[in-house]
Amino acid sequence: MSTDGTNLRKAGKPFYFNTSEHLLRIGRQKAATISELWQALQTCPDDSIFQHTFRTLQEHHFIRQGFSNDFAHWCLSACNEPVLAEQLASVDVREFTTIDGLRRRMVGILDEFLQQHPRSGSKPAHEPFYFCAADI
């Protein structure tokens, strides 16, 4: 019986959720150059790194072309830096047990690239990279 005195129907079998959706929110940080990406990666929230690496891999694991993380994809499509994109894409997120370790690896790749190609760091991207995260 409900609180207002009416009878409630009972389910014949239990209901199970089979899928889920995550509400994606755009954060305050964005990058318009590779140098800005390097800076933002050092301070962005952990859930943003998770979104752009693990969640992207989860959502697009079936795609055979392109990259498994958003950072690599942006470096190729918006910055036209295929070498950097390949380096970022080569990071296997399954090797990391902490977001901090993954962050250090990505920052290290960008740091090394910027040391070898300093002019590429300030070249404007065709479109900015927006740091996003999903609330679960």
Each residue's pLDDT, cut to its tens digit, for the chain (136 residues) gives 556 667 778 888 888 877 766 667 788 899 999 999 999 999 999 999 999 997 765 555 445 556 779 999 999 999 999 999 999 999 998 899 999 999 999 999 999 999 999 999 999 999 999 999 876 6
Amino acid (one-letter) located at 9: R
Greatest alpha-carbon pair distance for the chain in Å reads: 75
Amino acid (one-letter) located at 135: D
Nearest to 48 by CA among 94, 102, 92, 86: 102
